[in-house]
Structure 1
């Protein structure tokens, strides 16, 4: 009765070729014994008779596993191990020293020089096979990590390409959004409007503007849409169209009077119309705050509605600073909301300032908000400046208050100077 062949261990990595193994020993007989065993276990074996020959092979060919005798003529196994670790390699090589040494200090020296494992001589086949299985498992885990890293790198590359494309689109979107406030200074004869708009990101949700009702009346307004980014920017674009003086037939604030002339809804009615539009027509989760004022250029009579926006500021010619408005609910939150109007008269030399909460809620490095009183202090120290310069100075002072950091919210404002009927 014939003796069955010994059990073999094969590295079956989903049909991949056998793992390459390099056997290094200055004894030809010992190399032959190891080669026969390893081939029977399913490895692809290469032999080298010295450390120098083995190092030269490693420079031109990849080996997953190295089996090297410690004591050899010329370069020792320990020296070869150290030189092997210094080679540039993409994948890890599992290094096993074959040795009769058993002193802890010598074993520690081998580990220090890069050896992964040791097999005592004379080599026991079962022990060697177990050591190789352990090394193969480690190499398998390393292969999985390499593949996962490759997938991660590939995915990150695709994400980076998508981000670059999105970034280019957002840059173009910012340019387009800036055209919504094409004129940063408008002269109406009896009054002027200076505008400031600084998004916190590529695009923002703030909007400031003005339009003419007729020869005697103009409207100035400030809008702050909830949230940030593209969705808010798209809403501001739509609101810019609804409050545009260039498209009177599309302007939600304008209407035709009984005599056929162009007229306008009162500010509170404009807020109510916008509120109905948001809840009944647009039906999105966004809302916005609004400060909207109609100014009679001939008399200075002004009617203002405040819908959740920061209080408009009246900068009197004599230097007194006054907060206006009744607060009110933001637009797009409550069905059938009503809004109160504030009426007052501008005198020649007075200025009306509409500002977003990106100014009043701007934090310092310590986390303290500027607040309404802090903003008034900044305005007071810059009152001698004309309105465009005042807005620029306010931005500089706000940046200084924030410690030079980027603003966390959009910053916008509009100053209307009333000169009086010439």
Structure 2
């Protein structure tokens, strides 16, 4: 092995950060001296090896930037050496030039398949060698620039991932409780974003001693914009502060009562259009439930149809569709009423459930959902929600493509009868 270092020549532009390291491999010592002499006017660190086996040892300990290897050598030939070179782990790309007297198309194809970047015909012309090395350095510079940009991109992506993980924690904290017993009833929540953050929100809050508000929201789109809007809407329906909860209205006696559901939807619609001034809109289902009588008054604003599952397992889809919130100014909304009897439950679910789809493109319909609800009719609360969610995943044969959220309100009947 004979190291050779020469002064800078005008024909080759070296790497700005370090001299390029060139490994010349040939089983002819004469050929090694000839090529080294041709590289003498370029600012390269030149290393030579008399065989491919020796060259592999050099590559393992001091990886070269460029390899110039003869094709025909005793022992391992040039293409086999190139394959072995490509299998080695490297921090950066290595440029490989094969020296050959072969000109047949099949031979050239064989060399390219082995991983070679370029060819030089023997005997080697000095000017052509320098020109090929200039081209090789351009390739290496592009690889290095791309690697640097990829490293920067990975760093940025890692930072975004960290922020999104924290955002997910914050969004999950919007659901302060996923279960509560009211004595005569219980409510359970399911919120499963498809990404780090999602556009779904579910929740509940006491209106007074005998009434509770339940809601489900689905903001259009996905990602950060939807998540930010969800966070703002959560503030409008906060159970921690009646003064800030738009679903609550203060009476003339200073007592907070529930705002009629249809009125709430209309108020949110105007608020989104006038104050938020965003292109996003959302669907909403909000129910005001009497814990004593089981009376339900709800509004459906573009959200999937609410479900009442009777004690017998029978499933009823209720509601009237309605327009999404924040889409059309002056939109009007209607209230829907129903009544729960002891053993019944009210289910508010998102389109992540109602639009579950098989790989063949078949979407589950009301009959399919009803069958799943009936299958797990004996389960309650969170166990029921998880079982339904798993069944839908199995039916779709893949992970959900949309956020999945639901509210289940199970009514056990009043302890006293006020009828």
Distance in 1 between residues matched to 2:174 and 2:45, nearest whole Å: 73
Q: Aligned pair 1:291/2:285, yes or no?
A: yes
Q: Is the 8 A contact 1:222 1:292 kept in 2?
A: yes
For residues 243 and 42 of structure 1, do their structure 2 counterparts lie closer, same or farther at Cα, with a shift above 3 Å needed?
A: same
Once the two structures are superposed, residues 233-285 of structure 1 have per-residue CA deviations (whole angstroms, 9 ceiling, x without a partner) of 22112111111111111101111112222122100000011101100011111
Q: Is the 8 A contact 1:24 1:67 kept in 2?
A: no
Distance in 2 between residues matched to 1:392 and 1:369, nearest whole Å: 20
For residues 66 and 221 of structure 1, do their structure 2 counterparts lie closer, same or farther at Cα, with a shift above 3 Å needed?
A: closer
Distance in 1 between residues matched to 2:195 and 2:300, nearest whole Å: 26
Distance in 2 between residues matched to 1:395 and 1:160, nearest whole Å: 34
Q: 2:197 aligns with which of 203, 212, 229?
A: 203
Distance in 2 between residues matched to 1:159 and 1:141, nearest whole Å: 27
Structure-2-length-normalised TM-score: 0.78
Q: Aligned ranges for residues 11-30 of structure 1 at < 5 Å?
A: 11-13=11-13
Moved more, 274-283 or 200-209: 200-209
Deviation at 1:345, TM superposition (A): 2.3
Instruction: State the partner residue of 1:406.
Output: 399
For residues 371 and 133 of structure 1, do their structure 2 counterparts lie closer, same or farther at Cα, with a shift above 3 Å needed?
A: farther
Secondary structure of 2:235 counterpart? helix
For residues 15 and 226 of structure 1, do their structure 2 counterparts lie closer, same or farther at Cα, with a shift above 3 Å needed?
A: closer
For residues 104 and 306 of structure 1, do their structure 2 counterparts lie closer, same or farther at Cα, with a shift above 3 Å needed?
A: closer
Q: 1:322 aligns with which of 309, 316, 323?
A: 316
Distance in 1 between residues matched to 2:46 and 2:204, nearest whole Å: 86
Deviation at 1:372, TM superposition (A): 2.4
Distance in 2 between residues matched to 1:256 and 1:46, nearest whole Å: 83
Once the two structures are superposed, residues 97-156 of structure 1 have per-residue CA deviations (whole angstroms, 9 ceiling, x without a partner) of 7xxxx9989x979x9799944456xxxxxxx6xx33333332222211111111111111
Q: Aligned ranges for residues 24-39 of structure 1 at < 5 Å?
A: none
Distance in 1 between residues matched to 2:236 and 2:102, nearest whole Å: 87
Deviation at 1:178, TM superposition (A): 1.7
Gaps of 5+ in 2: 1-8
Instruction: State the partner residue of 1:74.
Output: none
Q: Is the 8 A contact 1:353 1:416 kept in 2?
A: yes
Instruction: State the partner residue of 1:396.
Output: 390
Q: 2:218 aligns with which of 224, 227, 231?
A: 224
Moved more, 365-374 or 247-256: 365-374
Distance in 2 between residues matched to 1:193 and 1:145, nearest whole Å: 63
Structure-1-length-normalised TM-score: 0.77
Q: Is the 8 A contact 1:311 1:327 kept in 2?
A: yes
Secondary structure of 1:358 counterpart? helix
Deviation at 1:18, TM superposition (A): 11
Q: 1:313 aligns with which of 307, 311, 327?
A: 307
Instruction: State the partner residue of 1:419.
Output: 412
Instruction: State the partner residue of 1:180.
Output: 174
Q: 2:162 aligns with which of 155, 165, 168?
A: 168
For residues 315 and 50 of structure 1, do their structure 2 counterparts lie closer, same or farther at Cα, with a shift above 3 Å needed?
A: closer
Compute the RMSD of aligned alpha carbons. 4.1
Secondary structure of 2:292 counterpart? coil
Secondary structure of 2:286 counterpart? strand
Rg larger in 1 or in 2? 1
